[in-house]
Structure 1
Amino acid sequence: MNFRPTLLAVALAAVYLSASAAPPPLMNGPVTAAPNAAALVTRLAAQAPGLGLDADHHFLLASQHPGLQGSMVVRVHHMYKGVRVFGSESVIVTDGAGNIVRESVSARRVHLGRGSANQLGAATAEFNVKPALTAAEAIALAQRSVRAGAVAETPPAAELVIFPLVWSERLPAALAKSDHELNALDMTDVVAGYELAWLVGTRLRAAALPVYHDTIVSARNGRILAQWSMLQSVAGSGKSQYNGEVPLSTTEGGAGFRMIDPLRARGGKFGALAVTNADHGTTAGEVFTSSANAWGDGKQYVAGASTTGANGQTAAVNAMWGLANTYDMLKNALGWHALDGQDTATYIAAHINTAYDNAYYSDTCKCMFIGDGSTFNSLGALDVVGHEMGHGVTDATSRLVYAGESGGLNESSSDITGEVVEAYARAGAGGALIPAGGNDWMIGKEISKSGTPLRYMIRPSKDGTSPDAWSTRLRRMDVHYSSGPNNRMFYFLAQGSDADPASDAHSSYLSGTPRAMSGIGLDKAYRIWFNAATTRFTSSTDYKDARAKVLAAAEELYGKNSKEAVAVQRAYAAVNVGMDINE
């Protein structure tokens, strides 16, 4: 943005982690409520005049979850005349007594009202929040714009919001640069105005296929201002298709066993982590059952076969093994419980639709769906399950808008989680450290019948579409491709780069000494990323903002001039986000 966020308090003191010992858990355990949450909102409102905001600006508590070392993360929406300003929010870290430690801000509200922060003047000083269209009219328009004939899977919802009209422009120092010379830090987001709008969430089905969208509909004239897909996807003992024979924790009851894990998570639909059998339908179905606590045959599902026999159970084994390992990695290594940090159980529905070539996370049930594949093998591979559960963590924390650069970061965060789960399951032995190896830095290689992965983290452009580095075109790309530069950044942060121009790990953007940057290992890289993504990112975080917040996370965990902080700067420089420095 073209205005500077204001910190409300000093940052947390740095927490230094020993390289020779297992670090303490990154996050707290589940919590019930932040101390004095209502008082916190009141304190924020009292400081609004000092930020140049008039009395029509307020705050609304959105969510809260555990933070670092005894802290709490509280997210608040920015409100104007009682209406939420879309993408404008504060992420506040409080200590155990409820005192504000630091704040991350996306301040897209400032040009509203009569305060001194409004640089747009009369056009937005008396912004009218009375809609000309009803919620029902907006929903009808959104549904027609998505897919004719699609039917609602869940009832559509509409929220009145103030939608900032944002564009990206060059900073003065970059005006003379050609497009290919631009760096992410040469650009700034500018709020050019606002429109009263309805944010319409439609979760539809066209025949058997899910059609999930969020749509911004003008509340003045019904024009579609923005729209993006919300289908967040990748494209006892049991015999797993991808991991051999694996241990499973199940529940005994009735005449046999149920695929509900009593050791992991609580609450939710089934009381613990679970896998259900959609049986080629469009709903989750019932929990898998078996008369014996031995599941699956370890083979690809045979089209048309029973989903409840040994062959059909293999998809459930794949899913449960991914669920359990993602849960264990988050809890044992980071101290984060389940998807929401509060240990709320989730589930996976296997055999969704028929020969379905996708897996996806649904924000309506906070659960996941996995297809059997047609051009792909079963989509229950470790990195795919970890990817979808990564969407669940993002949904519970930053809620990165699934479009543009923030959508690319959303997808990248899930790709990163998938790789970390793969490493943890295959080389982590259930411990408190994420191992250095065990993953392949490729997304979906195992589900591919040809062996060609969906995405390459080391050099994203190998897929023929994803870019290796930031450019201005990123905001116009599908989020599965705009994730590429951040995926590569994370590879460099963990593994380092190569000075040889012929190497996939080479970056021409690195100009510091040495020309090949040093990595800090997967464990430290993920701790830094997870800190930033869950306690600093806002819903509108872009690549430029991500760099600043990932760097701040590295400095908080390892020190301001640490090798880890240097590595973050170099890793982002390697994908054209910021300038390179010497090690």
Structure 2
Amino acid sequence: MSPLHSRRSRTKLTVISAVSAGTLISGGLALTAFAGSPDPSTSPGAPATAGSPGAAPAELTEAERAELIRQAQAGADDTARRIGLGPDERLVVKSVVQDVDGTVHTRYERTYSGIPVLGGDLVVHTAGSGSSKGVTRARKGTVEVATLTPDVPADRAQQQAVSAAEAQGSERTTADGAPRKVIWNVSGRPVLAYETVVGGLQDDGTPNQLYVITDASTGKKLFEYQAVVTATGTGRSQYAGKVALNTARSGSRYQLKDATRGGHKVYNSKHTTGTSTGSLFIDKDNTWGDGRASGSATGQTAAVDVAYGAQKTWDFYKDTFGRLGIRNNGQAAYSRVHYGDQYQNAFWDDGCFCMTYGDGKANTHPLTELDVAAHEMTHGVTNSTAGLQYTGESGGLNEATSDIMGTGAEFYAKNRRDAGDYLIGEKIDLKGDGTPLRHMDRPSKDGASADYWSPSVGSLDVHHSSGVANHFFYLLSEGSGAKTVNGVSYDSPTADGAKVAGIGRAKALQIWYKALTTYFTSTTDYAGARTGTLMAARDLYGAGSTEYDAVRAAWSGVNVD
């Protein structure tokens, strides 16, 4: 999407994401199948089974999840040997998902001689009986490096990172801390490297969190990425009409705090920028907002929209997938509204574990539509699960995941003022002509997004390469051709003109979520996404089932074979 106003070319304005330092850049999903464990990417003709409703995620208490993590960590050395890691490699448990049938999907980060391996993440799949079902890796192979002694001093790497941040508009002249040693295992041979983080603010007031990877032997910059990625946003004040909000009483006043959904709070940044949380919204009579834009006297209306969006997104994840919050631990993030002066962006930041919303043009167009709020929260879910790196094809999948789940939350809410549709940000009027930010049935309608995969898709901005996955999801849900849903007309083509029959949005969401949480890794690309969703469809509905075949047909419809 073209910038809304004059900005440096490095900034891409759309709805946002942030990723962790431990997640790496795009590549293929690599599946290691143990004996007796079919890989649907290589065995499309495997005998059909009756499917397994037990492949849905089980609801676990925090104590049960903690015990699974404890057991996995206790057996991590044995797991490392069993899956063929080298003697200097160790596994650190990141999260555990258990299916209803007892299958456990354990997500690990990796270290080498105690040093974190960027690009070393993997997921081990274990049946309830204890037998192995395979491993999904960010990158194949063991890790070996020539030396663990750097030839380049750490301060040289730090200065390189600061210079890179200054070039991107940060006012910070020092790094947030000393560079840490890492093993760079994303491309080429693994090498010892430095990872340096520079914070501060970008030139438009957005928090800066630039990660720079420097080869510790040569001093060459291997990679850099912005972990707080700006989001575009200008539009109308977003309203869902009269809504019920869960609040908390404190003395004679009420706080905009939802104790029933992990303690989500909404704060007022009062048009400041930076890392300050701001002031918690408080009211005397528990009646919030006045239906006007964010320029109103109290500024509560934008806070109402955000609180409502957080409620519906929490409930959507809980009721649809059994997920309790972004990290699945029952704890909520928090939200900030009225960030900056005429700030035309919104963003998720994993560092503060929070969502932040600007007021848009003239401080009268806050970015608070339901699917935008759900989009931002989903970046947190992606970061706490697959960790899809926000660049290349994996970045497109990251962005599409937020669009897909934002769409799911909007349909789930069943709000008459903002009915569910396959349009992203349709009420924020990004272009000033009343058209949506993105169209899932035919992504190219926005003038920049890709309808189909091609070898050049990974070079597009992630908000445009996401079109391939968005289109796949629409085809899987609704099928190709003309259709009207909730009064909105769609007409979705396919790459080869073949007809695709949809299986319904509910099943499509289950397949995507299971693939995200159990088969995608930080480096998953479109080919890997095809493999992961086929495996998810096999787990949920059976290899050779209607749903499995629909996944394969929908990917073919967007030229991913």
TM-score range, shorter chain: 0.7 to 0.9
Structure 2 match to 1:368? 355
| 1:291 aligned onto 2:284 | yes
User: What's the CA shift string for 1:492-517, capped at 9, x where partnerless?
Assistant: 111111189x974011335xxxx321
CA separation in 1, counterparts of 2:412 and 2:109? 35
What displacement does 1:392 show? 0.6
| 1:463 aligned onto 2:446 | yes
What displacement does 1:97 show? 8.1
- Partner residue of 1:228 out of 215, 225, 228: 225
Summarize the Cα distance change of 1:339–1:10 in structure 2 as closer, same or farther, 3 Å threshold. farther
What code does the residue aligned with 1:538 have? T
Summarize the Cα distance change of 1:79–1:230 in structure 2 as closer, same or farther, 3 Å threshold. same
| 1:348 aligned onto 2:328 | no
Summarize the Cα distance change of 1:107–1:523 in structure 2 as closer, same or farther, 3 Å threshold. same
Structure 2 match to 1:86? 118
| 1:160 aligned onto 2:194 | no
What displacement does 1:135 show? 4.2
What code does the residue aligned with 1:334 have? F
User: What's the CA shift string for 1:17-55, capped at 9, x where partnerless?
Assistant: 59xxxx97665454223252233312223225xx4x543
User: What's the CA shift string for 1:320-361, capped at 9, x where partnerless?
Assistant: 001000000111121000000111221111111111111100
What code does the residue aligned with 1:327 have? W
User: What's the CA shift string for 1:347-403, capped at 9, x where partnerless?
Assistant: 111111111111100010111101111188210110100000000101111111111
Structure 2 match to 1:43? 78
Query: What SS is found at the alignment partner of 2:75?
Result: helix
- Partner residue of 2:196 out of 183, 196, 200: 200
What displacement does 1:136 show? 4.4
Summarize the Cα distance change of 1:538–1:24 in structure 2 as closer, same or farther, 3 Å threshold. closer
What displacement does 1:2 show? 9.3
Query: What SS is found at the alignment partner of 1:209?
Result: coil
CA separation in 1, counterparts of 2:174 and 2:132? 41
Summarize the Cα distance change of 1:439–1:493 in structure 2 as closer, same or farther, 3 Å threshold. same
What displacement does 1:98 show? 6.9
Using the aligned pairs only, state the percent identity: 35
Structure 1 match to 2:508? 525
Query: What SS is found at the alignment partner of 2:66?
Result: coil
What code does the residue aligned with 1:443 have? I
What displacement does 1:444 show? 1.2
Report which structure shows greater RCO (CA 8 Å, sep ≥6).
2
Structure 1 match to 2:302? 315
What displacement does 1:128 show? 1.2
Summarize the Cα distance change of 1:156–1:569 in structure 2 as closer, same or farther, 3 Å threshold. farther
Summarize the Cα distance change of 1:288–1:153 in structure 2 as closer, same or farther, 3 Å threshold. farther
What displacement does 1:233 show? 5.1
- Partner residue of 2:158 out of 139, 156, 176: 139
The two structures, once aligned, show a CA RMSD in angstroms of 3.0
What displacement does 1:144 show? 1.3
CA contact (8 A) 1:14 1:556 kept: no
What displacement does 1:8 show? 4.5
What is the 5 A alignment of 1:197-346? 197-206=193-202, 208-232=205-229, 234-235=231-232, 241-265=238-262, 272-282=263-273, 283-302=276-295, 306=297, 309=298, 312-346=299-333
Structure 1 match to 2:96? 65
* Range moving further from structure 2, 330-339 or 441-450: 441-450
CA contact (8 A) 1:25 1:332 kept: no
- Partner residue of 2:392 out of 369, 388, 404: 404
| 1:383 aligned onto 2:383 | no
| 1:76 aligned onto 2:108 | yes
CA separation in 1, counterparts of 2:453 and 2:422? 20
What is the 5 A alignment of 1:97-108? 100-108=132-140
CA contact (8 A) 2:495 2:559 kept: no
CA contact (8 A) 2:28 2:139 kept: no
What displacement does 1:198 show? 1.8
Structure 2 match to 1:182? none
Summarize the Cα distance change of 1:3–1:256 in structure 2 as closer, same or farther, 3 Å threshold. closer
What displacement does 1:201 show? 3.1
* Range moving further from structure 2, 251-260 or 61-70: 61-70
- What runs of 5+ residues in structure 1 fail to find an aligned partner? 114-125, 167-191, 266-271, 429-436, 579-583
* Range moving further from structure 2, 521-530 or 223-232: 223-232
What code does the residue aligned with 2:269 have? A
CA separation in 1, counterparts of 2:515 and 2:29? 21
What is the 5 A alignment of 1:378-457? 378-426=366-414, 438-448=419-429, 449-457=432-440
CA separation in 2, counterparts of 1:66 and 1:478? 31
Summarize the Cα distance change of 1:354–1:455 in structure 2 as closer, same or farther, 3 Å threshold. same
CA separation in 1, counterparts of 2:60 and 2:186? 37
What code does the residue aligned with 1:296 have? G
What displacement does 1:67 show? 3.1
What displacement does 1:228 show? 2.2
- Partner residue of 1:491 out of 461, 474, 493: 474
CA contact (8 A) 1:10 1:102 kept: no
Query: What SS is found at the alignment partner of 2:157?
Result: helix
What code does the residue aligned with 2:152 have? L
Query: What SS is found at the alignment partner of 1:384?
Result: helix
CA separation in 1, counterparts of 2:79 and 2:53? 33
Query: What SS is found at the alignment partner of 1:420?
Result: helix
TM-score, normalisation: structure 2:
0.82
CA contact (8 A) 1:497 1:517 kept: yes
CA separation in 1, counterparts of 2:93 and 2:173? 26
CA separation in 2, counterparts of 1:150 and 1:485? 37
Structure 2 match to 1:33? 67
User: What's the CA shift string for 1:443-496, capped at 9, x where partnerless?
Assistant: 111112532222111111111111111111122222111111011101111111
Summarize the Cα distance change of 1:230–1:370 in structure 2 as closer, same or farther, 3 Å threshold. same
Query: What SS is found at the alignment partner of 1:294?
Result: coil
What code does the residue aligned with 2:549 have? V
Structure 1 match to 2:87? 55
TM-score, normalisation: structure 1:
0.79
What displacement does 1:297 show? 1.4
What displacement does 1:94 show? 4.2
User: What's the CA shift string for 1:82-114, capped at 9, x where partnerless?
Assistant: 33332122212346687654421233443x44x
User: What's the CA shift string for 1:241-283, capped at 9, x where partnerless?
Assistant: 4210000000001231000011111xxxxxx111111111122
